[in-house]
Structure 1
Amino acid sequence: MQSDLPLTRDIVLVGGGHTHALVLRKWGMAPLPGVRLTMINPGATAPYSGMLPGHIAGHYTREELEIDLLRLARFAGARVILDRAVGFDRDQRLIHLKNRPPVAYDIASIDIGITAEMDALPGFAEHAVGAKPLDIYSDRWRDFRARVAAGQAAPQVAVIGGGVAGVELSMAMAHALRSDGATPGVTVIESGEGINGVPHATGRKLARAMTDQGVRFVAGTRAQEVTAQGVVLPGGEMVRADLVVGAAGAYPHGWLADTDLPLTDGFINIDETLQVQSDPALFACGDCAHMVAHPRPKAGVFAVRAAPILFDNLRAAASGTPLRIFKPQRDYLKLISLGGKVALAEKLGFALSGPLLWRWKNRIDTKFMHSLDALPQMDSPTRPATMAQGVADILDAKPLCGGCGAKLGGDVLQQSLDTLKPLQRPDVLTGPGDDAAVLRIGDQRQVITTDHLRAFVDDPYMMARITAVHALGDIWAMGAQPQAALVQIILPRMAPHMQARTMDEVMSAANDVFTHAGAGIVGGHSTMGSELTIGFTVTGLVAGSAPITVTGARAGDALIVTRPIGSGTVLAADMMGQANGRHVAAMLAQMAKPQGDAAQLLAGAHAMTDVTGFGLAGHLMTICRASGLSATLTLDAVPIYDGAEALAAQGHHSTLFQPNRDAAPVLGADTAKAQLLHDPQTAGGLLAAVAPDQAEGLVMELRAAGHDAAVIGHLSDGPASITLR
């Protein structure tokens, strides 16, 4: 929830580890006013390590395994940057990222985990996968399991490393392959003489469990090389495998060695407050950190126990109050999965195993995940006791959406436009109603458009990219070449150094999009307000004699759309904390992708528009009315964003949905997918009417260029209308 207080401090969480996930939950329940909280992580979700062996064995689905970081961040009021950290500049307080400009911080915390990638082993990078990062390994495992089921790979697996992780995962993989009807051949390769890192009695129990699962344990040897055929041992012996997994240890991420961070064996040195040694602005936690005063093995229990301390100390560092001390326990209970729904419990050298222990472990793990999924309902701001009539009705309605979902309804806008007296100028070639105005400047045709968006993501860089793509949509839809852009930015109240950071992010993203499109940013205006709003006024030049408009469609034309619909519904659900983070992240990435190449492929269209606030049906109706035609849509052919149809079926809609539906009714079944035709789109696709004999070829070219394009219907003679089939 946006605070009315100014922002004065940037706290950045680097990595989506367990500690940071728990900090997000706690922050949502008790945010510190004046702080802009940011999380940087490569993906929208993070696998929970405690349930990974159960997922590999087939006991848990991917959704049950994943921590939805986007949903947690929404609850915490934090922005999420989906990118990978690759460096630190502690003097300038900058975090360098792989795919976008650096992010500045006042206070930061690092929780990036570890890796099991064995870069020094020849052939590992090309032919193997580390057990960590967990998300990469779990994805590779699902692909391998599918290939085995399809007969495209043999059910042979080699695990390099005979510690608890390697043993646990080897039994999980053997169990899953056997459950699929395959006869697994799983081999664990260990340089020591037995299972590493456990007491002798525990090792004997684990060895018996591996034998029961048909797992072969090869001790006292080392992997020399990984090839496409498997693992080469000393003397040339080959362990055949179509999947090789590295689990031979906990390795720090390599980029840390290229920083000036204080390290021990590649892990970040921290003191008892979780602060990086000699750097009060930087914290570290989880497996990537080394507790100098209390060295401990890499285990999730310490990450979970550290979360309340980190939460309090981040707040203390931002508010100038004393920090707390973290003292990890000396020993902890280890619960090890044995492939099937059986687990072994070990502590202080004593070990027991059985189904009851797996149920105990399952209860602990599912309780942890439930705490991050069933987020508490926070109290809404208190309303005044007495209000004017109608205020409560508006407040009780759905929250105001961002992006195009916040636009006025088409009928309201048209009523206002109808009152205007057209200005008769020979150099103004169009009146209100098309995508952009067309001006004559000498022998040139120039188009000009303006658009602005109320922020729907808290990341100014991503919001600027999407807004720029959205504003260019009108230029591309008219077949024009982008020329110049003016910028309008409203920033929420914040300290001057944060204003500078935010402006840098917005301008960097906008400049990247416009430069790529061939246009230059030539000026603009900025001010402060209650929330982030970004807008652009864009001009473009038409190469031919006339731009593409909505009036030129012909009977028989095929209708092509270049992008899925449903963004308004997904964003509305995301505001309520009900959308899947992976779906939201994938959708935002597509919305931020320019469509200049798609416009070039569609340059021969008879009519074209971009699908934005009035939805696919509304913008198609504009073509129908302007061209005097009716449209028939094949609903099954209309592409939609992942998750949108299910959310619409649950009743999630943008605030503009009903006005859109009233303005452009569609004849046909009123299904959840049909309702998405009225969903307002931000940075939506191009909608083109093209000659029917060219449609399929154009779609093939568009898809080859990376656009999710489809032929969705056709136009016919008749009064303006839209019918589903």
Structure 2
Amino acid sequence: MTPLYPAIKDLVLVGGGHAHALVLRMWAMDPLPGTRLTLVNPDPVAPYTGMLPGLVAGHYRRDELMIDLVRLARFAGARLILDRATGLDPAARRVRLEGRPPLDYDLCSIDVGITSDLPGLPGVEHAVAAKPMAAYAAAWEAFVARRLAFPRVVILGAGLGGVELALASRHRLAAQGARPEVVLIDRETRLLPGLGASARRKMLARLEAGGITLRTGVEVVGIGPSSVTLAGGEEVGSDFTLTVAGARPQGWLAGTGLEQAQGFLVTDACLRTSDARVFAAGDCATVAGAARPKAGVFAVRAAPVLQANLRAALSGGKLRRFLPQRDYLKLVALGPQEAVADKWGLSLAGGRLWRLKDRIDRAFMERLSDLPAMAREAVPAAATEGLAAHLARRPLCGGCGAKLGPGVLGAALAGLPAPQRPEVLSGPGDDAAVLKAGEGVQVLTTDHLRAFCNDPRLMARLTALHALGDIWAMGARPQAALAQVVLPPLGPELQARMLGEIMAEAVATFGAAGADVVGGHSTEGAELTIGFTVTGLGGRVIGKGGARPGDALVLTKPLGSGTVLAAEMALARLPGQLMGEAWVACVAQMERGQGDAAAILAPEARAMTDVTGFGLAGHLLEMLEASGVAAEVSLEAVPFLPGTVALARAGQGSSLQPANLAAASWRMTAPVDPRVDLLSDPQTCGGLLAAVPEAAAAGLVRALRAMGHDAARIGRVTEGAPHLTVV
């Protein structure tokens, strides 16, 4: 949606911790006009740590405890940058990132959590750290899948988290019929000092009943692939070693110059660090004079204060104070669906406590996942007939999904004359115009994309790759590009930041492809739109015509980007999966340039095109029309992006897909199958589709896969009038 007010300041949230996740939720409900919100996090999802023991014990699926930051950022209208922060320069007001140039901010907040590795311990690479949780969860599931009869688990750190995970591990392994040996090791002699005496007794009794061995007052001096070595030389056998001890702050915080205590950022009661333009919350921070245990409950309760104070700092309002409670209700999982409750020195245990914990945890996750969909524009009581039906269509997509339908475009281009000048060798109808250039040819194309995300650098890269697709599809070498940029409403400083990011990324992307950016044009409009006009040079031009009966059809990328982008823009859920991870997998495929794929295919291709706005079916039919042949495609052979078939089955799809299907369906024979709808899905930065001699197909696919392309032989060219048969 077009913002009502131009953004004039940048608020950057570094880290996707619990506090920031809740800030995003609250910001969405009441955004501050004039502020551009950005979230920086290395992963598209973040774990809710309160449900981790339940995941390890087998009570939850992974998707049930992962916070989908992609959906949350979309809901909040925030820019999402999937990268890892490596530093902060408060003087320059910049966040340093691992994989891209520094990011400017006017106000910053840090919520990056902690890590639980043991730096400097010999062989630590043979262990798994409990934090960050995502890697631990994946490693644990892989270990469980080995189904060892006598699995040995060693947990370094017998604090509350270590005890919970020991009980959960033992329960999970025993539940699948194994006879596990679980050992808890800690250098301290007094266990669970954060619990009351009654709760501590209950926990220790549960450890004893489960046969879990406690080794306290013991120093670990090394970790091997199948054992842990203790001081004195004793070795404890281990098939899975977990480190819960050694919880420490992220290393890069030490170089920020901000006040710290034992490596944690120190804040005042308003959650400000020693720099008034930098706030911090969660496990990475400590409130001066009110230090508390590193527990998620404090981050959750700090979130409303953090959100209010970020707004106040941006708008000149009064800051609020955060007063963390001295004690809180601790609900500690016991492995089975039972828990211990502890507060004020009193404790209870049993299944009812587990059900209470489960309700609290699920309510928290539902708060962050039950996001209202985009509001539809209301139709006035007095309106032109047909307006309601027009507005009832799917919301307009971004990327190639915003392209005009093939019927509209075909009608508009039908009256264009054939090229009149001798140097113009071909015009409308192919991927690019072909111009005579000395002894060779020059190809010329133009393309632009309506933004489907709020990251201008990512949009610039994808638009450049999308425009280059036409050059590569013709078998040409990229030469030069002109940029056309429409910026959304912004203040002058943010305009300069955004345009600088776009042009820097364009130069890098075209430069990697062997082309120069030689200029362009910019203007301000309703929303971000980026386009490029690109030229290329070549000798032999590969057009859409030339396919012969018997040729194999080779596709270099899986389908479904239009459906994934549309579903993400609509805040759709992906049952049993995470929409954010499907979106990231989609973007990763879109970022895969096709220059090396074109170089592999070009020597053998008789006809070639890139699969973009009209979908595989539409672009294949263009090839068949130009070649005077038919084709057969196997649904089982066509690759699809993760989650796309489930989304199509649920009715998700691009706003352009119905028009694409209508234009192709009368020339198609196909079964009723959601995958058939995906054949008309508009692709942004889609793959190449080539008709190649059958004898060369297998070798070409092998070469493409060796280069990292998810290529497949999807069908064959047949004799007959242009028609597509899907089997």
Category of TM-score, reference length = shorter chain: over 0.9
Residues 419, 426 of structure 2: 8 Å contact kept? no
List aligned pairs for 1:362-401, cutoff 5 A.
362-376=358-372, 386-401=382-397
Report SS of the residue matched to 2:88: strand
Residues 90, 256 of structure 2: 8 Å contact kept? no
Report SS of the residue matched to 2:248: coil
1:698 aligns with 700
Number of residue pairs matched?
A: 718
Q: Which runs of 5+ in 2 are unaligned?
A: 574-578
Give the drift of 1:201.
3.5
Q: Distance between the aligned counterparts of 1:553 and 1:688, measured in 2?
A: 9
1:477 aligns with 473
Residues 88, 94 of structure 1: 8 Å contact kept? yes
Give the drift of 1:368.
0.7
Q: Of 272, 276, 280, which aligns to 2:269? A: 272
Q: Deviations over 1:527-556 (max 9, x none)?
A: 1000000001111111x3x21111111111
2:257 aligns with 260
Q: Distance between the aligned counterparts of 1:433 and 1:231, measured in 2?
A: 68
Q: Distance between the aligned counterparts of 1:435 and 1:379, measured in 2?
A: 37
Give the drift of 1:157.
1.2
2:558 aligns with 564
Give the drift of 1:214.
2.5
Residues 29, 378 of structure 1: 8 Å contact kept? no
**Runs of 4 or more consecutive aligned structure 1 residues displaced over 6 Å after TM superposition:** none
2:343 aligns with 347
2:241 aligns with 244
Residues 485, 528 of structure 2: 8 Å contact kept? yes
Give the drift of 1:239.
1.2
Q: Distance between the aligned counterparts of 2:726 and 2:173, measured in 1?
A: 45
Larger mean CA deviation between 81-90 and 345-354 belongs to 345-354
List aligned pairs for 1:123-202, cutoff 5 A.
123-124=123-124, 126-146=125-145, 148-149=146-147, 155-197=151-193, 198-202=195-199
2:400 aligns with 404
Give the drift of 1:380.
5.5
Report SS of the residue matched to 1:664: helix
Q: Does structure 1 residue 626 correspond to structure 2 residue 622?
A: no
Q: Distance between the aligned counterparts of 2:269 and 2:18, measured in 1?
A: 19
Q: Does structure 1 residue 336 correspond to structure 2 residue 332?
A: yes
Q: Deviations over 1:89-131 (max 9, x none)?
A: 111111111111111111111110000011121211x211211
Report SS of the residue matched to 2:265: strand
TM-score, normalised via structure 2 length: 0.97
Over 3 Å counting, the alpha-carbon distance change for 1:381 and 1:548 in structure 2 is closer
List aligned pairs for 1:19-34, cutoff 5 A.
19-34=19-34
Q: Distance between the aligned counterparts of 1:296 and 1:609, measured in 2?
A: 61
1:577 aligns with 571
Q: Of 523, 527, 531, which aligns to 1:527? A: 523
2:232 aligns with 235
Letter of the 1:359 counterpart: R
Residues 174, 339 of structure 1: 8 Å contact kept? yes
Q: Distance between the aligned counterparts of 2:59 and 2:526, measured in 1?
A: 48
1:452 aligns with 448
Residues 482, 517 of structure 1: 8 Å contact kept? yes
Give the drift of 1:357.
0.7
1:213 aligns with 210
Give the drift of 1:384.
5.0
Q: Distance between the aligned counterparts of 1:639 and 1:303, measured in 2?
A: 42
Q: Distance between the aligned counterparts of 1:431 and 1:512, measured in 2?
A: 30
Over 3 Å counting, the alpha-carbon distance change for 1:59 and 1:132 in structure 2 is same
2:412 aligns with 416
Letter of the 1:245 counterpart: L
Letter of the 2:602 counterpart: A
Q: Distance between the aligned counterparts of 1:397 and 1:379, measured in 2?
A: 13
Larger mean CA deviation between 378-387 and 328-337 belongs to 378-387
% identical aligned pairs: 53
1:292 aligns with 288
Q: Which runs of 5+ in 1 are unaligned?
A: none
Give the drift of 1:4.
2.5
Q: Deviations over 1:146-194 (max 9, x none)?
A: 2x22x5x962111110100111011111111112222111111011114
Report SS of the residue matched to 2:81: strand
Report SS of the residue matched to 2:425: coil
Over 3 Å counting, the alpha-carbon distance change for 1:720 and 1:483 in structure 2 is same
Q: Deviations over 1:661-710 (max 9, x none)?
A: 11112212121111100010100111111111111121112112111111
Q: Distance between the aligned counterparts of 1:256 and 1:493, measured in 2?
A: 34
Residues 162, 194 of structure 1: 8 Å contact kept? no
Q: Distance between the aligned counterparts of 2:296 and 2:324, measured in 1?
A: 12
Q: Distance between the aligned counterparts of 1:391 and 1:10, measured in 2?
A: 38
Residues 196, 343 of structure 2: 8 Å contact kept? no
Q: Deviations over 1:183-229 (max 9, x none)?
A: 11111101111423334433322111112222211111011011112
2:723 aligns with 721
Q: Deviations over 1:425-476 (max 9, x none)?
A: 1111112010001111111211111000000011111111111111110011
Residues 513, 594 of structure 1: 8 Å contact kept? no
Residues 4, 530 of structure 1: 8 Å contact kept? no
Q: Does structure 1 residue 597 correspond to structure 2 residue 593?
A: no
2:576 aligns with none
Report SS of the residue matched to 1:19: helix
Task: Tell me how large the CA RMSD over aligned residues is.
Answer: 1.4
Q: Distance between the aligned counterparts of 2:192 and 2:119, measured in 1?
A: 21
Q: Distance between the aligned counterparts of 1:346 and 1:19, measured in 2?
A: 24
2:301 aligns with 305
Residues 561, 586 of structure 2: 8 Å contact kept? yes
Q: Distance between the aligned counterparts of 2:463 and 2:224, measured in 1?
A: 47
Report SS of the residue matched to 2:115: coil
1:552 aligns with 546
